[in-house]
Chain A
Amino acid sequence: MAGSSGAPHNTVPRHSGNHTHAHPKVFFRLAAKNLTRYRRRTTITASAIAFGVAVFIAMASLLGGMVAEGDRNFSNYETGSAAVTAAGYWDEREQFPLDMLVEDGAALTEALETEGFAAAPRVAFRGELIVHYDPYPEDGSAHLGMYGIDPARDPEVFNLAESVTEGRFLEQDEHGILISAWLAERLGAEVGYPVTITTRTRDGFHQIMDLDIVGIYETPNPTVDRSSIFMPLETAEYYLELAGAVTAVHLRLPEQVPGAADLAPVRSALESAGFLNAEELELLGFNEMTADFAAAVELQDAVFRVILFLLATIAVVGISNTMLMAVLEREREIGMMRALGVRDREIGVMFMFEAAGIGLLGGIIGMLFGTAAVWYLTQHGIDYSAMLEGIEMDLRFDGVLYGVWSLGTTVSAAVGAAVLAGVVALLPVRRILRRTITESLRTH
Chain B
Amino acid sequence: MIRVQDLHKEYIDGETHVRALRGVSLEIAKGEFISIAGPSGSGKTTLLNIIGCIDTADAGTVTIDDDTITGARKSDLVEIRRMKIGFVFQNFNLIPVLSAYENVAMTLSLLGLAESEIRERAMKMLAEVGLVGMEDRRPAKLSGGQQQRVAVARALVKDPLIVLADEPTANLDSETGESILKLMKSINERIGTTFVFSTHDQMVMEYADRLCRLHDGVIESDELRRSA
Chain A contacts to B: CB under 8 angstroms: 1-6, 9-16, 19-23, 26, 30, 33-34, 36-37, 332-333, 336-343, 436-438, 441
Contact = CB atoms under 8 A, between A and B. Distances in A.
Contact of B98 (A3, A30, A437): A30
Nearest to A16: B76
B106 A26 contact: yes
B79 A15 contact: yes
A339 B87 contact: yes
B111 interface: yes
A1 B87 CA distance: 24
B39 interface: no
B203 to A, nearest CB: 24
Contact of A5 (B5, B66, B71): B5
Contacts of B80: 13, 15
A10 B25 contact: no
Contacts of B132: none
Given A1-B26, A6-B3, A438-B55, A12 B87 contact: no
Interface in B1-60: 3, 5, 25-29, 49, 52, 54-55
A1 B95 contact: no
Interface of B: 3, 5, 25-29, 49, 52, 54-55, 63, 66-69, 71-73, 75-83, 85, 87, 89, 91, 93, 95-98, 106-107, 109-112, 154, 212, 219, 222, 224
Given A5-B25, A341-B79, 6 more contacts: A13-B67, A16-B73, A16-B76, A30-B98, A341-B83, A436-B55
Contacts of A338: 54, 78
Nearest to A15: B79
Contact of A2 (B49, B111, B212): B212
7 contacts: A3-B219, A6-B3, A13-B79, A20-B111, A22-B110, A26-B106, A26-B110
B107 A340 contact: yes
B109 A26 contact: yes
A21 B49 contact: no
Nearest to B96: A37
Nearest to B75: A19
A37 B25 contact: no
Given A5-B25, A436-B55, A34 B78 contact: no
Given A20-B79, A37-B96, A340 B26 contact: no
A6 B68 CA distance: 12
Contact of B109 (A5, A14, A22, A37): A22
A37 B97 contact: yes
Given A9-B66, A26-B106, A30-B98, A340 B82 contact: yes
Contact of A4 (B27, B87, B106, B111): B27
A21 B112 contact: yes
Nearest to A11: B68
Contacts of A333: 93, 95
B54 A339 contact: yes
Contacts of B67: 9-10, 12-15
B26 A2 contact: yes
B78 A343 contact: yes
A348 to B, nearest CB: 14
A339 B112 contact: no
B86 to A, nearest CB: 8
Contacts of B73: 12, 16
A37 B5 CA distance: 45
A343 B77 CA distance: 10
Contacts of A3: 25-26, 219
A9 B63 contact: yes
A268 to B, nearest CB: 65
B83 A15 contact: yes
A354 to B, nearest CB: 11
Contacts of B29: 1
Contacts of A37: 96-97
B135 to A, nearest CB: 16
A26 B115 CA distance: 11
A33 B99 CA distance: 11
A37 B29 CA distance: 43
A33 B97 CA distance: 6
A338 B95 CA distance: 13
A336 B93 contact: yes
Contacts of A12: 67-68, 72-73, 76
B93 A11 contact: no
B97 A437 contact: no
A441 B55 CA distance: 11
From B79, B83, B91, name the one whose CB has the most chain A CB atoms within 10 angstroms.
B79
Contacts of A1: 26-29, 222, 224
